Amino acid sequence: MNRSIRTTWNFTGTRALVAGAGGIGSAVIEALADAGADVAVLDRDAGQLAEVTRTGGSGGSGGTGRTGGTSDSGRTGGRRGTVRGLSVDLTSADACHDAVADAVGFLGGLDVFVHAVGANDRRPVLETPDEVWERLVAINLSSGFWLGRAVGNVMVPGGYGRVVYLSSVSGLLAHRDHAPYAATKGGINQLMRVMAREWAPHGVTVNAVAPGYTETDLTRAYLAKPGMRASMEALVPAGRLGRPEDLVGPTLFLSSAEAAFITGQVLYADGGRTLV
């Protein structure tokens, strides 16, 4: 049976910050706004920011409280949250710090942070130049540290927070031609574990969702190569590749009050890819 995915969460009053306006980030932004959260979005792509702010929500003012996203499968016709974009170069420590401060200022606080930033450059290790390594480390990993540190400086004193990083099965599996990407995603996994240990006494959870191969702008050209889609699907026990909406449920769960006792975990949402 083909079942459509419907957001069944209530995040009314929640202040959320999402880094990354495309692909999985876009799906998470729309779901959070649809569930009532007010969302600030960080990205350097003006076109993607314009799209998510156009479709993600309208009306209302910034959140003034925290519900923590309690599950409410009967929620219909509730307030749709606002979505506000902020153009920022996430490869700069100062820019990341200032962007979090700006977002907290117009949201009126911060309850949820989702890091959905990722770039890849597929080539063998021996053919990977320094500039590719440095660029991917800055985008994928350093931005996670800089933004996470700034977010932690808000959430830890406040005594509450939900932090979710979008990792990858590449942080666990040794995919060829993925050295910088795999290294940065493995680094994200360990970064969030250390944050989780340090911040747990303060009511802040830090977790990661690790997708398998997912159809986004990041993978479109690669999947278009002859035979590539079929070969990738053959590696997934579920028999298909992931879609951005497949990551919404896991991400919103880890952003919710129900996940209060879950921290330092990598949740693999991969159709069974890591089983084979």
170, two tokens: 């590449």
Distances (CA, A) of 73 to 9, 35, 69, 241, 258: 7, 11, 12, 27, 14
- The DSSP annotation for 169-227 comes to GGGTS--TT-HHHHHHHHHHHHHHHHHHHHHGGGTEEEEEEEE-SB-STTTHHHHTSTT
Among this protein's residues, is 181 annotated catalytic? yes
Return the HEC string of 126-180. Answer: HHCCHHHHHHHHHHHHHHHHHHHHHHHHHHHHHCCEEEEEECCHHHCCCCCCCHH
Q: Which of 165, 181, 213, 268 is catalytic?
A: 181
Dihedral sign from CA coordinates of 216, 221, 226, 227 = negative
Instruction: List, edge to edge, every strand of the sheet that includes 161-166.
Output: 83-87, 38-43, 15-19, 112-115, 161-166, 204-211, 266-269
- Residues labelled catalytic: 181
